[in-house]
Structure 1
Amino acid sequence: MTRFWKFSNIPQWEKYVLMVALVWTFSIGGSYSWNVYWEKHAEVFAAQFQARSLFSKDLVYRRWNARSGGIYVPVTPLTQPNPYLKGIPEREVTSPSGRVLTLMNPAYMVRQVHEIEKQGQGIRSHLTAINPLRPQNAPDNWEKAALEAFKQGAKEISSESYIEGKKFLRLMRPLVMEEACLNCHTRQGLHKGDTYGGISISVPFAPFAEITSTYLRRVAAGHFLLWGTGMAGILFGACRFRRSESRRIKAEEDLKHSLELSGIVLEATHDAICIINVSDYTVQRANRAFLRKIDCTDEQVFGQTCHAMTHSLCQPCGTPEAKCPIQMTLTTGESHTVEHLHSGKQGELLYEEVTAYPILDELGKITRILHVARDITERKTAEESLRQSQEKYRAIFENTGAATIIVEEDGTISMANKEFEQLSGYYREELEGKRSWKEFVAEENREKESAKQGLPVEVNACPDSYEFRFTGADDSVRDVVVRWGGIPGTGKRVASFLDITEQKRIEEALRSSESLLALAQKISHLGSWDWDIESNAFRWSDEMYRIWGVNRELFPVSYEAVFAMVHPEDREGLNRAINEALYAHKLFNMDFRLILADGRVRTVAGQGEVVFNEGGKPIRMVGTTQDITWRKETEDALRKSEEKFAKAFHASPDWIVITRAGDGKYIEVNEAFLEITGYSRDEVIGKTSTELGIWFDYRDRMLMLKLLNTNDLVRNLEVSFRIKSGELRTMLWSAEVIEYGEEACLIAVARDVTEQRYLEKELRKSQSQLFMKHEELKNLFLQMENIRQEWEQTLDFITDMFILVDNMGRIKRFNRAVENYTSVSHREIVGRDWKEFLASHGLQQNVLQPGVEIFDEAAGKWLVLTFRRYDDGAVSGDVGGVVTINDVTAIKTAAIQRGSIMDQSH
């Protein structure tokens, strides 16, 4: 009961803060747990994917070997004749050079590949069967269980196991007897289509676990930082509210003083202010500025309508052109500001900015309106003149016919016309006030242009004109002629640019067509060559030297030198292709690799044709070589990208779907979609979202399709979906049109933000409540500050010294009498120990004997020091003190005189 009583006495706002903190903590914890759950699933999925890929690779090797009838390889200590192929004819053959070759069947080949794979990557693969020919291929206990499952129709068996103390994913798939394998297995009584064994793949979990651990550490750090930030914000708001609540009661006592001060401010302002009764629009009160504006007295205004006083109208104002702010405030309950034409003393029209503020009664009903009018006639006249001037200036500037800008003294572009937007490739908003014109000067002209900028520009002098290279937004370089002119009375200059790029290009084309050919070869990375076979002399284009990465002056081009730079693995094929071109009259066409002097590997495509003499002898060979390294890298990158996409697609915690653009049917969905919606894959594939009834509001779907048609993509569209259970989920929907399987498809990603939106709603509600309390306390604090200033001013008029100290004895505040007595400035007193400070100024005895009258010879006064403690716990929890030093000279002198008179009388 005691605990319940204590909790029930906790203020309501503290309970609310505690609830928000708990909700925030559970939300962050739930989010982190969700990430851990899916990352562990992704780890197993990645290992399974790798194991299936390895099985597919081994199966392809076996089929290739089996369909070829086996392959012959040299006999080595590691590759001995297979004793289980003794009955096979031509198990060993001898090449014309006398080299012994042995027949390698699919099982033998795969077994050797598995050994190499185990040494390199730690992956363990095992070819096994129910009744293997080779005893070493016998299955272990796990493999036996898998083989038995294959007999029952299973297509794949996988599980997590420990091998030699390390965690592995073991996966096994069956091997089905094919016709090409019967040659070696007929004696076992097997037939085509029988399941006779399998290949087990053991993939170590260590690499995947390391990636998962790194990712989860980052996720944990991010969640902890997010939780800490949220908790800090909640605690900060709670602490501020707690401190302010303790001062609220005292601040309310000073509200009356604040109202009196507001009346003074109302009369002192130059704005015309009046208070209007909303029932009949009559003026109840007006300040002096309002009365002066209409040249009336308070008695003449009281009881008159506001529209009669300001507009000389019999009815309330309010037209589409000039809306009445009072009516707008009564409609919305909020303050409104509009511009009106009001009548002056002589009936003249004045532009005024009118604001109406609602005044509420105790029930929150608007009973009066505070009407504030500010004369803006001069400002409106100036704005209209400036607008007309700017329109004329802008029309001339925009229609000069050339790319034109106005440049400040520091080179910043202050204005740019449409032609300059086209020349630079930037929009006006990206240029004006944000970029210097020097940024568009090409690098080779920067130093020259900087020197030009340093020259003084005379206003009446002829504008400077010169050529330079202009760099645009897309890094395109243009040749331009610039002409400069000064703007009188300012430090600004006008520059106009004439694009002469096309003229330069034509001149360059006429100057040298051969250089254009070299440039074309460089751009396409295509070099040409000519080989005189009889003299072994080569003639290369410039691009050939760049492709080979050698210097024209230092590299002697010859067949031997060129062949030496070819990758060792490609030399035999290149030599064969050249010989076939020279002696078999075939076209030379081959891709091969080069090893450059710096060790880089470059892939090139060579093409050539041989010229023969009348006797059929090759005398010359001409051709081209193109650098296709980028193409090879692109193909590899594409393959890796497809692998990453597949992993990301299925491991993503957000749902991802792919539908055909033509009929909207699902062709692929990930596991997150199935888990969130509750559907199975068979229920979804081949169906449309309309058939499943996923879209809760058909208007969301129509909006999504409209955005797709307009922008070809949709980003973070918030929609509501109905899952299989009938529950509604709020999702952020993003979609884009892609090509998938050689047809147009739509890929869509949706993130579940249902819980997040609920928390945001609760947080906004909390913030609005805290903001209202904060505004209320801010007004009270302002009133307290006025009281504090009045208190300090009062103390400064007192001749006795007052010192306020904190719980550590440090001086916090004091009156002006302390400064006058010690002749020390304010900043040198604050923060010092009060006893040490007074002792340093001859008041040591007063500090040691508080309450005793002590004569100060330096000042010629009798002084009494008093120290009183006070508890400031309502504000900061500190116990401080007040030191007073009273001047009792007059009292002491009178007492001494009375004592002397008494002595004389006796």
Structure 2
Amino acid sequence: MNKEAAFIKKTFLIFLIGFIFLSLGSLVWNIINEKQSVKEYATIEAQASFNKDILYRQWNAMHGGVYVPITDKTPSNPYLTFVPEKDITTVSGKKLTLINPAYMTRQVYEIAKSQNGMIGHITSLNPIRPENKADEWETIALQRFEKGENNFNSIEKINGATYLRFMNSMKVEESCMKCHSHQGYKLDDNRGGISVAVSLEKYQHITSSKIKALIITHLIFFLIILIFFVFVYRRFIKEIKKQSELQSKIAENESFLTHQFNKMPIAYILWDTDWRVQKWNPAAEKLFGYTEKEVLGKNAFEVIVPEQAKNGIKETLKKKQSEGTDFKNINENHTKKGEILQCVWYNSFLKNDQGAISQIISMVEDITERKQSEQNLIAAKERAEESETKVRSMFQNALTGFVYFTPEGKIIEANPAVAHIMGSPSLDATLSINLLTFEPLIKIGFTDSIKQCIKGKSVVTEQKVYTTKWGKTVFLKYFLVPIFKEDEVIGIWANLNDLTDLWETQNSLKNAIEHSERIKKRLQDAQALAKVGNWEIDLKTGTIWESDEALRIYGLEATDQTLLLKKIQEAPLPEYRYVMDESLTLLVTESTPYNVEFQIKRQSDGLNYYVHSKAELEKDENGQPSKVIGVIQDITDRKLIENELRVLSSAIEQNPASIVITNPEGIIEYVNPKFTEVTGYTFNEVKGENPNILKSGLTPATDYAELWKTIKAGYSWNGEFCNKKKNGEFYWESATLSPVYDSLGTIIHFVAVKENITEKKEMERKLYTALIEGEERERNRFSKELHDGLGPLLSTIKLYFQWLAETEASDKKQMIIDKGTNNIDEAIQTLREISNNLSPRSLSIFGLTNTLISFIDGINQIQRVNIQFKSNLKKGFNTSLEISLYRIILELINNSLKHSKANEILIQLMFDETTRRINLDYADDGIGFNVKEVQQNEKGNGLPNIQNRVLSFNGYFGITSHKNRGMQVKIEIPIKHQNS
């Protein structure tokens, strides 16, 4: 502390001496500037006078001179005898003489000298008038003009007074030639100049006043700063005494943390908020090859991040730093030798008392060897990341003011710091405030906190930006502690902390101990987050130490050393113990790195877990092995994910369907071998391409629009495409497209599973063609039967009716009626036979069950739908019943194929001997429909035909259907009315 005080005393003395010299320098510099300004102001005045005189001369010369009356003061110019009409007489007899520019300028200067003390003189090295002859100073100036200079000035004494003498050259112009051409001048020659002398007395008087003011202000400012320096010096000395004890405690904690940090067998790195290295433990040096000295102060992107990964990692770090939450990420890093490593980073943000991020601590694990198995699917990576937990910890302490008040808000007692924080003019003014009705406290929710404290009977902590009634703004943190009497709150103690006050430094130092403890806790939390524990074996004493996380991994609790060592030795499964013992022996005897993966049986639950352990040997000062320091990690989740990845990878690679994975924009990222087999495109040919390369132009654009609308809304889409192979050949696919989400519910990929149905389509086309041709043949046969069988009978009946109309005899009429009746009966019988013959021949030959099986097998062969048919009908039934059942089942199948888009159809046709009923159950998994709407709007003969057929046998017909839930039909036909 004495050294710090001496240093501060010396520093303050240096600052004081420096300030004295700075003040004197400022005063001297300002005085010099003021004195120099005298000449500058006088020069400006002289230049302005010269410019004015030139304007007057130019005006006179422009008019060729002016005529004025001849007087004693203005006699005729004897030097202009060469000018015609030098003197003239007006009509009235008044005599006038020509005044040229030089004559006019000389008279003006005589007037100026008498009125304002300014001396002017027009002169030349070759003057016409003797009065214009140059004096010694003017001669020097004119000689300079001859050498090319335009003006000349200096401070001179004239008649004992100080003047600024200024002279500017004049060039020969066209208007000058009238009076001076006889002297041999040419245009732009230097013909002379005008000198002006300005008195400096008035400027020196002003400057003297300013210099006095400068001296006084500098002296006052110096005294104020001197007082401030003395005040600050005394405050610093006082603060140093208070901080000395805190510094020693911090040093103890830092020493412990540094020891733990350096002894950790896993890499730990401490960064500042710009990701520059502040600490780098030996494990990090071993992992990356850089010593702490080589990387200290360097940015992460300068030493361990590959060029190609910088942008991505920068964005990730920027995002996570803005969120301020702990996180885990997997990055590519490179060593000093250029080797590429795959590393898991467990990052934790350390915050100061204001809640701002002050440092970042990272724990790094090399996972290069196992990373390869984690690269197959991006989704698996997301799931792995989701298995990690995030930990947040913020707590701030800063006590400054104390106030005790009643539950009604009346202040009983308060210290002066409360008045300072609340911005009150005095402590008395503070005591008069009611905390429940004070408007500034109501605005920040302080009164609500009071009510919460009373109601919950618990401590309330809040942090607010508070503007006092008197305009002061305070960053306020307060604690409300209820005071009880017989379980009733009788008062509240409030601790108010002004984080903007000058006492912030002292409070920060007090909190530094807690900050150090938080760093220690963060290290423990980071281990828990990564499921990593550390352990230590003392080879000399035979004792073992395990961290809390290591004990959790083994499922153990801290106990005596002998029992703990025994349980840890028994935890690995028997098949791993030899390898572990051998590796540990090699570590101790040959310093061979200890790095093993094994399974343990956890004591707490009896389950098997995978763990990974690393260790290093520590030697004593004599070079003898003294300790083994190691780390153990629970890798069960990773092992399970690796197994899942292997299964998923195998399933995708060997899948008989084509599988395509795209990003959310539809760009292809992966295709399996089946895709290459079907399309002819290799993975490298389609990677980065849009699936549009497969478009044939035969699939409507509306289908693609519906597809994208569905999957972007988060639903799966099913449908068929006609696509084009690499060789130009068209093929059909049945596809299912589904979105893939990350842990936040954002779509990150689309997966398409596609089956080549070209052969099915061809078989379906052939089946439909065969059905159409069969129907056409039936129509032709039906037409022939009507023409050959029923046609002649109807024609004969027509003839009988014509004959009946023409015959009058009653006996002939009766004969005609009898014959007509017989023909009508024959026509009816013929019509029945035609109707009965509409059924397929196979129905009469093989029976209903076998005919249906044959028909269904033909449909199943095209694999558009899968029809499952079950029947126990072995006995032949009435032919008309079998035909009706056949027609009903065909009509139901036809509806499912045409309208329902079903994939599965279930048909059961069973005869119940007990109830003597035939039960037909029909169901599909199609899109369904509204039964009432279909029955009301039915234009064809579908459902009505089926219902009429059932009712004709006194049967029961029931149908149910819902949207996207398929259709179910129930039919029951009693046999007691039929001949079976």
After TM superposition, is the score higher than 0.5? no
Question: Normalising by the residue count of structure 2, what TM-score does the alignment of the two structures yield?
Answer: 0.27
Q: What is the TM-score of this pair, normalised by structure 1?
A: 0.29
Whichever of the two has the greater Rg, that structure is 2
